Chain A
């Protein structure tokens, strides 16, 4: 019954700008099989092809099993039902990637099980995730010759799906906290999107062929060794992709990728004012990740034998790249379970990346990805938040008390998890007077490539809030920012991610606790956040601070007011 586990669907490999032999490059992806209704509508995704600009509702698309035919380019572009199926396939593929990496079902950032996907929502060069509408909406826009559809861009669909999935995993990451957190959603979305594109060997192969075509001296199916250095791969694959995307979508859309590639390593970069803006800052993590990818790929290729002295097999080169991208993608997603539930900074993500990976894969000698991550993130001034040499989170030095806590329900019951917290509130430094919520308890099973055996873990997110007046901040060891009125209401938040092993014992506690008196070290970060949030106007009465991701996307092309809390009324 293997054919009922997976469904193969044709998709546009990147976007209609990436072509091979003068045709739009398409490929086949595999998504979990399910009994679909027209839409397509399944149990996790419901495509609604409604266009607010024209008021049209296109007929729901029907997926025929085993139908891998791809229409001719013109017919494909003119067929909304192909677009609907393309979007469905890429959203489902991304969801499946997340579930594979995390070893469990993953929910969206809202209650309903189905994410609504609107492939032709309106005429605008924008696409975004809306938690309120429980939807991904994709705009389209007219270019010189025709219409560009954001729902046909692999990277856009995956980027937006990542927003929806990350929101399901860490609902507080969309809240205001620090410049890093504001940047993280975008940076993570770009990382997942690009690695998802590069995990398609066909795309890598095409980009490499195109760069080789430029001087025309390449023997068929081979690639010269000097073309697979770090520098030339950055150029041919990363910038190459940006250029081919630009041909379709216009440069405004592809600026982010181009800029990420061009950000040269600089350990002070995050202190520069222009990298205070969320998108620019996000591009720095993307740059670190892309360099890790290309570097590992280059090193891997060095160990391959050459053909005719100076050539490598092109297919093999692309395949190696795709495997590394795939592995990095899994790592990038898996890391989310090892991040604090609140107030993420880039250094937390780096520690999460190496910890999560070393739990499942002890042997990293083939690609050296963990060292690569530490090295390249370090080159951009991002150090692991754990402070340890190998970057992994420290294991707790004392065991928890389990008196009265039931093992069985600890794996999925928030109440039981809270019982564990309560029994250990002093040890875990939970503030008993704060509003406390166990946001999630998730049992996961990951397969270790070391021995093929399952690695079982339970991951719980616990968050705490206090609402106080500015003149009460000193009770939490904080000083009000200059100019903050004493009666101003301030919310302080903290939280921990608890990772339990298969016996229910605490393996890691990854935290950003509520500030408290007498904890000067931990409070330094909280004080910085308080200052930042004040400057951003997060505590202003009546100011809605749940910045819509749409606004962020517009800001990407340099629009919208600059955030300058200190100067506005």
Chain B
């Protein structure tokens, strides 16, 4: 029987608004093994390391002793992968990960720009490819939304918060071309996973079982295959176009038609309201695309003996619901999750990425501190995402209150040192 690790240290680096985790498993008679999960930021912390992402990458190199066994990029949002570009990316590549894990939606064989391999073309592959193509159109849309920000800002009718959020979500959803490319080339082996993918880890991570609980494939999840309808595909392609992703947006629709320089008096009441609605529409679309990409997140359940650790990336309800409720093994999965000792709070503490049925199922939630209490970590920064007035702020206050009350919570927001820019959870296994 393979030796099992006897302890784990989970380190969460202060990337600002983003995620970056390093799991270091300690063995009695073997070298430690390291798993890195995500490395991205859309907004640096004011109290983070002065050298920003590069300094964090160098710290990771030190912390893992120069070698990663596994690297996970949960999904392609900037706040999860931006660090894989540029110099910080080179540092991570030099850690020579044995295995790089990404969601099935990142499989280069499904890339709409890549030539389809000869002989491929089952119905399932076509549909999967359509989804990937749509995600790609959506990211083009993010770029167009960003380009629209100055106009939104210039309009007196559009509230600044709307423009700010379009910018923030646009930046998060922007195609991180360099990061994506680097991820594809770093490491020795790549797997593109979905719910139920078996990871052969006995050599890389002895004594550790890792289950993939998400994202589901189209066939697996009725909810997601509903989203894969052609109606929605068309919607996204149109949305991308309307924001000018193909260069046509904003072009004249009635060349030569008579216009007036000054709006007639009777139009002046409604014009600012139309401007405002347009801003809000843009925001709503960008928000939908943000959710769709979040739902491609890899959800991992680590199991070492009796100890279980949950890392769900930014998965929202739709992604979680397959593992928790819809699949045949849902009951067994819920029972195993119930026993978790550690939970990485989903999507920076947003309102819909910690399903209440998951949270309420954790048996180690306790009001009283003690050795058996659930440990949680959140990597977040307030004031970037959502709004408290609408009850959509990230992190959601009621969730953070509950996490503080019922678990040992480590929050990157409370890190104030430029030198010690990480939180640790250490568990004896």
Contact = CB atoms under 8 A, between A and B. Distances in A.
A48 interface: yes
B356 A569 contact: yes
Nearest to B228: A558
B242 A124 contact: yes
A134 B352 CA distance: 33
Interface in A308-349: none
Contacts of B238: 125, 141-143, 250, 252
Given A554-B284, A567-B356, A252 B253 contact: no
Contacts of B264: 57, 60
Pick the 3 closest A-B CB pairs, nearest first.
A133-B273, A59-B258, A52-B278
A54 B234 contact: no
Interface residues of A, number: 63
Interface in A550-569: 550-551, 554, 557-562, 564, 566-569
Contacts of B281: 122, 124, 126, 550
28 contacts: A39-B266, A48-B271, A54-B253, A56-B259, A58-B257, A58-B258, A58-B259, A60-B260, A78-B254, A79-B257, A80-B257, A121-B278, A135-B274, A140-B253, A143-B238, A252-B232, A252-B234, A252-B238, A537-B391, A541-B391, A542-B390, A542-B391, A554-B288, A560-B288, A567-B317, A568-B351, A569-B354, A569-B356
Interface in B326-364: 351-352, 354-357
B277 interface: yes
B316 interface: yes
A53 B248 contact: no
Interface of B: 223, 226-227, 229-232, 234-235, 238-239, 241-243, 248-250, 252-255, 257-260, 262-264, 266-267, 269-271, 273-275, 277-278, 280-281, 284-285, 288, 291, 316-318, 351-352, 354-357, 388-391, 396, 398-399, 402
A562 B266 contact: no
Contacts of A56: 259
A56 B274 CA distance: 12
A557 B232 contact: yes
B270 A135 contact: yes
A544 interface: yes
B406 to A, nearest CB: 13
Given A142-B248, A557-B231, A560-B284, 19 more contacts: A48-B266, A54-B252, A58-B258, A78-B255, A79-B257, A81-B257, A130-B273, A130-B277, A252-B234, A541-B391, A542-B391, A544-B390, A550-B277, A557-B235, A558-B231, A561-B317, A562-B317, A568-B317, A568-B356
A67 interface: no
A154 interface: no
A52 B151 CA distance: 10
B254 A80 contact: yes
B141 to A, nearest CB: 12
Contacts of A124: 239, 242, 278, 281, 285
Contacts of A551: 284
B274 A567 contact: no
Task: Identify which of B252, B274, B284 gathers the most chain A CB atoms within 10 Å of its CB.
Answer: B274
Chain B interface main SS type:
helix
Contacts of A543: 390-391
A489 interface: no
A125 B242 contact: yes
A251 B231 contact: yes
B111 to A, nearest CB: 23
A123 interface: yes
Given A50-B274, A52-B278, A135-B273, A567 B288 contact: no
A140 to B, nearest CB: 6
A237 interface: no
A113 to B, nearest CB: 13
Contacts of A442: none
Contacts of A80: 254, 257
Contact of A567 (B229, B278, B357): B357
Among the interface residues B223, B248, B257, B399, which one has the most CB atoms of the partner chain A within 10 A? B257
Contacts of B273: 130, 132-133, 135
B277 A133 contact: yes
Contacts of B398: 569
A175 interface: no
Interface in A457-477: none
Nearest to B233: A252
A53 B249 contact: yes
Contacts of B267: 48, 50, 57
Contacts of A123: 242-243, 249-250
- Output the residue of B242, B354, B356, B396 with the most chain A CB within 10 A: B242
Interface string A272-309: 00000000000000000000000000000000000000
B284 A550 contact: yes
B400 to A, nearest CB: 9
A116 B272 CA distance: 13
Nearest to A483: B356
Interface string A54-74: 101111100000000000000
Contacts of A79: 254, 257
Contacts of B235: 125, 252, 557, 559
A526 interface: no
Contacts of A54: 250, 252-253
Given A250-B234, A252-B238, A562-B318, A57 B284 contact: no
Contacts of A130: 273, 277
A41 interface: yes
Nearest to B397: A569
A137 interface: yes
